[in-house]
Structure 1
Amino acid sequence: MSQEDSDDIKGKLALITGCTGGIGYATALSLAGRGCHIAVHFHQAVQKAEELVLNLEKLGVKAVAFRADLSNYDNVRQLHTDVVNTLGNPDILFNNSGILNGALGPNGNIQDVSVEKFEETWRTNTGTAYLLTQLCLPNMENKKWGRIVFNSSVAAGTGGVVGPHYASSKSAMHGLLHWIANRYAKDGITCNAVAPALIIETGMMSNPSEELRKRIPIGRFGRPQEVASIVELLVTNAYMTNKIIVADGGWTPSAF
């Protein structure tokens, strides 16, 4: 089996943004369990980032926390520089961080989302992921190996319940990943997305209603570890690229 086809990610470096959130935290532990070193990005949760680093080191991998406000492109560039100077170039990039930037609900008024808020949401959710991917790709090209994963949302395909700013910022990721996947497949680089919904222990689902749970076909909310297992699949399967994997307990009937 060639290196390009191998599912062995031991010794690879994964940069995970939003690592102190439920999905980021679980994914870091999941990939570290496969022997990945982890660049732990966080914004404000210092204590949780330090706790995660300790837990990762117990698994026998290298882990360093990097603080950055990713609503600013210069901070994105600095984060990449800091990671490279401290741990090396990332082999795996999980673009996981993002913001809601206010929730209108499905019956909200579009007039309540200013174009400034719209652009801020796109910059933080989509622009950041684009720039970080752009920065990480050259080294992946040189190595002829790379894994890029975007954390999208079911809202990208359905409109969701947050608002047009959020849904469209996530939908834009899909066009981005499709282009990247097609362009860099020949270089041993895969690019995919996971699109979760109704995942508890996250910022979006901190206090879900019982009524909402009853609407989920499998009868319960999802867990961060279940999203992390999909990310693990996407970074260990060299034949899977250009895909959006939906994790929503059967809420939507098919991929979009």
Structure 2
Amino acid sequence: MANAQASELKGQTALVTGATGGIGRAICHSLASLGCNIIIHYLSSTAEAEQLQADLRNQYGVDAYTLQADLGDYDDVRHLHSYCAASHQPTILINNAGANGGHSGTTSISEVPIEDFEKTWRINCGSAYLLTQLCMPFMEEQGFGRVIFISSVAGFTGGVVGPHYASSKSALHGLIHWLAGAYAKKGITVNGVAPALIEQTKMLPGSNEELAKKIPLGRLGMPEEVANTVKWMVTTPYVTNKVVGVDGGMFPQ
């Protein structure tokens, strides 16, 4: 990471969805360490969002704001963006929020009703699409932007959560490839990170000990390891159109 490139990020505003989970929180700290102001999106964890806001302000001296929205509701997504557009337009968008529709470790497609499939897709892919669509014009005006989608190794392999989750994450990969090609000459890079079995997340389908046996490295990943990959993508303008697995060697890319 070149210092000159990192210094250019100071004062930029980053919107991180699902920011109160382990990965989202680590990403907020990583970007704030670069001098970015942070918009902390959350669904229901008000106390955690306010604590994160205080931590970012105190530790890094950046501005931090909290915004509640249900990403299962497209009107909420529009309201979230409207608030940002009024005072804190992001040039860095981290589409991190995700859901499993209440199903994990699914072994039969019949276990996931179409309603749960559609709700999972809406949160994991549809709202990320809409929020990107709404944020992109300002990035174009600035001639600078970073869009990163937090996917999952399930988007490569099918994973262990279920068909609803895997298909919503793999859909992000196609979206990344299209967006990256369309906006590369406009100063906007678009990438994805595909983690697997990361500690301190809410969707782990089993105990840490049992899950660690599935990983070649023999341990779960840490949120900071995902955040470091995001930081690399944000600070390296020559990297675009990539989906990078952070999975302890589960999937050979």
TM-score range, shorter chain: over 0.9
Aligned to 1:19: 19
Q: How does 1:59-98 map to 2 (within 5 A)?
A: 59-87=60-88, 89-98=89-98
1:118 counterpart SS class: helix
Aligned to 1:151: 150
Q: C-alpha displacement at 1:84, in angstroms?
A: 2.2
Q: Which deviations, in whole Å up to 9, do the C-alpha atoms of 1:43-99 show, x marking residues without a partner?
A: 100100000000110111000100111100000000011122232x10100000010
Q: C-alpha displacement at 1:218, in angstroms?
A: 1.5
The answer to which of 198-207 and 232-241 deviates more is 198-207
**Aligned amino acid, residue 77 of structure 2:** V
Q: Which deviations, in whole Å up to 9, do the C-alpha atoms of 1:173-192 show, x marking residues without a partner?
A: 01101000000000000000
Find the aligned partners of 2:64 and 2:208 in 1 and give their Cα distance: 36
Residues 1:41 and 2:41 are matched in the alignment: yes
Q: C-alpha displacement at 1:207, in angstroms?
A: 5.7
1:6 counterpart SS class: helix
Q: Contact 1:19–1:49 at 8 Å: present in 2 too?
A: yes
Superposed CA RMSD: 1.4
Aligned to 2:216: 217
Q: C-alpha displacement at 1:120, in angstroms?
A: 1.1
Unaligned runs of 5+ in 2: none
2:245 counterpart SS class: strand
Q: TM-score, normalised by structure 1?
A: 0.94
The answer to which of 20-29 and 7-16 deviates more is 7-16
**Aligned amino acid, residue 230 of structure 2:** V
Aligned to 2:227: 228
Q: Contact 2:93–2:132 at 8 Å: present in 1 too?
A: yes
Q: C-alpha displacement at 1:206, in angstroms?
A: 8.2
**Aligned amino acid, residue 81 of structure 1:** S
Find the aligned partners of 1:57 and 1:124 in 2 and give their Cα distance: 29
Q: TM-score, normalised by structure 2?
A: 0.95
Aligned to 2:103: 103
Identity %: 53
**How many correspondences in the alignment?**
248
Q: Which deviations, in whole Å up to 9, do the C-alpha atoms of 1:162-216 show, x marking residues without a partner?
A: 1111100000001101000000000000000000001011112386242321232
